Amino acid sequence: MKPLEDSYKHKSLRKKLVQTILSKGIRDERVLTAIDLIPRHFFLDNALDEHAYQDKAMPIGNGQTISQPYTVAYQTHHLEVAKGMKVLEIGTGSGYQGCILCALGAQLYTVERLPELLPRAAAMFSKFGFNPQIKIGDGSLGWPEMAPFDRIIVTAAAPGLGKSLWEQLRPGGIILLPMGNKVQIMNKIRKTHDGQPIRETLDSFRFVPLIGSEGYSE
């Protein structure tokens, strides 16, 4: 990761945020280190700078949000990413979740529906020296040309497990996605080597909806 001229700003607040996430049960040292390394205030407008290290979602424009840091840590922990894994992210957003995954050594492919969000996210990846593959498109359909993936993370509320994403997951892989309408249940689904799903239901969260052909209608 590139050394950043402003990376020490709010360093004490980042340390407190890590302690907050730790107190909520995330004890994965690799995830906590990544949260500490990636300055969240870079991803927000200057007017929100002082709020960047509060453990809550924040607006990024176009009706979208940067997820609560605990949610990012929670999803990252349950995704079980190892260095070099090919990871598909549905919903690039601000680029914050993607940068955390890149900091863990993921080979990241990320899809965003709203083209207005991508220039800033792309600038963030470049700022940290990361080089993921980025695509504008219907995230509910995944990225079939680049499949299969070791891990798939969906950062928006899905009505269910779509056929396209499931088919793009490598046998032995994990897909993590929140399902439901007003409140979502995080689902962690492993694909067995013979293509069968093993589902684990986790905690409840709130996400913006996944809009697309295999998501919700706009």
Exactly one of 7, 23, 67, 204 is catalytic; name it: 67
Known catalytic membership, residue 12: no
Residue 216 resides in a domain: no
The CATH number for 83's domain is 3.40.50.150
Residue 131 resides in a domain: yes
Residue 36 resides in a domain: no
Residue 3, pLDDT score: 46
Residue 16 resides in a domain: no
Residue 180 resides in a domain: yes
Distance CA 17, CA 26 (A): 12
Q: By mean pLDDT, which of 7-16, 73-82, 112-121 is the weakest?
A: 7-16
- CA 171 remoteness from chain centre: 21
Burial of 138 (0-12, 13-18, 19+ CB in 10 A): middle
Which residue range forms the structural domain that includes residue 151? 57-205
Q: What percent of the chain has pLDDT over 70?
A: 95
Number of structural domains in the chain: 1
Note the pLDDT tens digit of each residue in 117-171: 999 999 999 999 999 999 999 999 999 999 999 999 999 999 999 999 999 999 9
